[in-house]
A and B are shown apart, each in its own frame.
Chain A
Amino acid sequence: MNYSIAFRTIVTKEVLRFIRIWPQTLLPPAITTALYFLIFGKLIGDRIGTIGGASYMDYIVPGIILMSVISHSYANVVSSFYSTKFQRNIEELLVAPIPNWVILGGYVSGGIIRGLLVGVVVALISLFFADIVVNNVVITLSVAVLTATLFSLAGFINAVLAESFDDISIIPNFVLTPLSYLGGVFYSVEMLPDVWQTISMGNPILYMINAFRYGFIGVTDVDIQIAFEITGGFIVMLTLFSLFLLHKGIGIKN
């Protein structure tokens, strides 16, 4: 059995899906982030000055790019896999001789591709507002890929456990968005009172955004190695949990 064909089939299906509906998937982040750059970066940022030696515009660009990667890699997998469940075409995959890791890998790859593509779109938009030279390409790319992987896995788990369309909007609206905003996209945690600095350190997104910012402009509030360890640790845990759910058929089988 050639699993690479099954894997490619799932990934191609996923990529064609979000490209076919590009006005819903690729266009909105371009418009939203352009407004962020204009309002926060240009109009307000000019009055804020510098953070860590970088202009406010340069400081917020990496966070806004990674926030887009997070929300879109998550959204792609959660909406696609839940729709597959809802329409019952998940049965096509369950009946076929595809191992669970191929199903998981295919959907997560779709999420990573959309997350990175949106990241590229937002980065291109940022070029109209900021003049950024990437400080460390390897760190920048690896943080982007690992973050997209982590949130694609999280989206997959959300979709597997969801029983209604409400269930797939709760986590993005009430968990991901607040954690992203509080993860230092628009500010340095050093600007916060001590107690809020300590609380912020419990937010894993803070580490990813700072590691990404380090890759871009060389400025960070956290240790890069810890950021990689936390992201890698979450990826391992979520992968194992996803495979467990698929193996048991929780949420997808009777």
Chain B
Amino acid sequence: MNALSIRNLRKTYNNGFEALKGIDLDVEAGDFFALLGPNGAGKSTAIGIISSLINSTSGSVSIFGHDLNHERAKAKSCIGLVPQEVNFNQFDTVKNILLNQAGYYGTPRKLALQRTEYCLKQMDLWDKRDMVSRRLSGGMKRRVMIARALVHAPKLLILDEPTAGVDIEIRRSMWKMMQEVNQEGTTIILTTHYLEEAESLCRNIAIINHGKIVENSDMASLLARLHVDHFVLDLAQPIDAAPVIEGYQIERVADKVLNVAVPKEHGLNKLFSQLTAHNIEVISLKNKTNRLEQLFMDLVESSPKPTGVGR
């Protein structure tokens, strides 16, 4: 069964801006799915409609087989939403935020208390349960939102840029938490601007641009389409000019640093043997760009530009 099925979903705002131009999307139950797109592409509008924060203009959304228009309560019961910005009552305690959320979903008090304890412990927040939420750090507030979204045990968790603005340590710990939640059987839809995050966490991906889905496939086959990798080489000795090696684009960016575009059919071994032949010793190398980022830019830049009204 699909966790989410979207058919011909359209949204035109009152000012005439067409944010979604008839998108179709399926997310399988149990998936860890990335929904990517540049700012203003339509992904927040799509998530807003799925989570009932925005009214659609036309089209259908079905969550675990429940149509959002006809079986609204059942469809909504399946969803947990972690929005981009903090939106809980900052004057309430962490525990009350979760208990209220559980109550809104009709969870009996005893079970709500158990679920609150479980989710706060899972997010490493149990010792902060009686703290007024505005006193929490930014990273803790993000985790409160994830715990809140999980308290009614949703089957589909939507994470809208959950790690935006948090430091790398917290981001990594949140990745681990998200993976654990997914391994427990919860389907996750993730939007993020950190493409490294999507690449390492998600199995399937859709890219939305100008209100249309421009790519929808599994992560492995999408990445396999990348023909060229870009590397930065650190050299042992300074060089005056970049060597010319057939099949590779090499650029000297500093005395001891080269940028190299490596086509997959040529690979790295041939490059290294040629560099050795030029008496150039490489002491380290790293990927210049994230692989998904490269593909993302290619897809976004190649999709047609809109001609409608700006928002």
Chain A residues with a Cβ under 8 A of chain B: 1-3, 5-6, 8-10, 13, 84, 87-89, 91-99, 249, 253-254
- Most chain B CB within 10 A, of A13, A93, A94, A96, is at A96
Q: Once the chains are docked, how many angstroms separate the CA of A209 from the CA of B55? A: 42
* B103 contacts A8, C-beta separation under 8 Å: yes
B253-307 with Cβ < 8 A to chain A: none
Which residues on the A side are within 8 Å of B101 (C-beta)? Answer: 92, 96
A33: min CB distance to chain B, Å = 28
- B114 adjacent to chain A (CB < 8 Å): no
Q: Once the chains are docked, how many angstroms separate the CA of A205 from the CA of B48? A: 41
Contact of B53 among A8, A13, A97, A254 (CB under 8 A): A254
Chain B residues with a Cβ under 8 A of chain A: 13, 48, 51-55, 72-77, 79, 81, 83, 85, 87-90, 100-101, 103-109, 148
A180: min CB distance to chain B, Å = 30
**Number of cross-chain contacts by CB at 8 Å:** 76
Q: A95-B81, A98-B104 are in contact. List 18 more A-B contacts (CB 8 A).
A: A1-B74, A1-B106, A5-B103, A5-B108, A6-B105, A6-B106, A8-B103, A9-B104, A87-B88, A92-B88, A95-B79, A96-B76, A97-B73, A253-B54, A253-B55, A254-B48, A254-B53, A254-B54
* B106 contacts A87, C-beta separation under 8 Å: no
Q: Once the chains are docked, how many angstroms separate the CA of A254 from the CA of B48? A: 9
Q: Once the chains are docked, how many angstroms separate the CA of A106 from the CA of B77? A: 20
Which residues on the A side are within 8 Å of B79 (C-beta)? Answer: 95
Q: Once the chains are docked, how many angstroms separate the CA of A47 from the CA of B52? A: 62
Contact of B106 among A5, A91, A94, A95 (CB under 8 A): A5
Contact of A92 among B48, B55, B104 (CB under 8 A): B104
A198: min CB distance to chain B, Å = 43
Given contacts A9-B103, A89-B87, A254-B13, contact A95 B52 (CB under 8 A): yes
Chain A: CB-nearest residue to B83: A91
* A2 contacts B100, C-beta separation under 8 Å: no
Which residues on the B side are within 8 Å of A253 (C-beta)? Answer: 53-55
- Most chain B CB within 10 A, of A6, A84, A95, is at A95
* Contacts A/B (CB < 8 Å), 24 sampled: A5-B108, A5-B109, A6-B103, A6-B104, A9-B103, A10-B103, A84-B89, A87-B90, A88-B85, A89-B87, A89-B88, A91-B81, A91-B87, A92-B100, A92-B104, A94-B53, A95-B76, A95-B79, A96-B76, A96-B101, A97-B74, A97-B75, A253-B54, A253-B55
B216: min CB distance to chain A, Å = 25
Chain A: CB-nearest residue to B108: A5
Which residues on the A side are within 8 Å of B13 (C-beta)? Answer: 254
* A97 contacts B77, C-beta separation under 8 Å: yes
- Most chain A CB within 10 A, of B13, B52, B54, B77, is at B52
* B77 contacts A1, C-beta separation under 8 Å: yes
Which residues on the B side are within 8 Å of A254 (C-beta)? Answer: 13, 48, 53-55
Q: Once the chains are docked, how many angstroms separate the CA of A89 from the CA of B72? A: 20
Which residues on the A side are within 8 Å of B89 (C-beta)? Answer: 84, 87, 89
B51: min CB distance to chain A, Å = 5
Q: Once the chains are docked, how many angstroms separate the CA of A84 from the CA of B74? A: 25
Which residues on the A side are within 8 Å of B106 (C-beta)? Answer: 1-3, 5-6, 97
Q: Once the chains are docked, how many angstroms separate the CA of A249 from the CA of B53? A: 9
* B73 contacts A99, C-beta separation under 8 Å: yes
- Most chain A CB within 10 A, of B87, B88, B104, B148, is at B104
B277: min CB distance to chain A, Å = 62
Q: Once the chains are docked, how many angstroms separate the CA of A61 from the CA of B105? A: 44
* B104 contacts A88, C-beta separation under 8 Å: no
Which residues on the A side are within 8 Å of B105 (C-beta)? Answer: 6, 96-97
Given contacts A5-B108, A254-B13, contact A91 B53 (CB under 8 A): yes
Which residues on the B side are within 8 Å of A93 (C-beta)? Answer: 104
Chain A: CB-nearest residue to B149: A95
A69: min CB distance to chain B, Å = 26
Q: Once the chains are docked, how many angstroms separate the CA of A9 from the CA of B106? A: 9
Chain A: CB-nearest residue to B71: A97
Q: Once the chains are docked, how many angstroms separate the CA of A97 from the CA of B101? A: 11
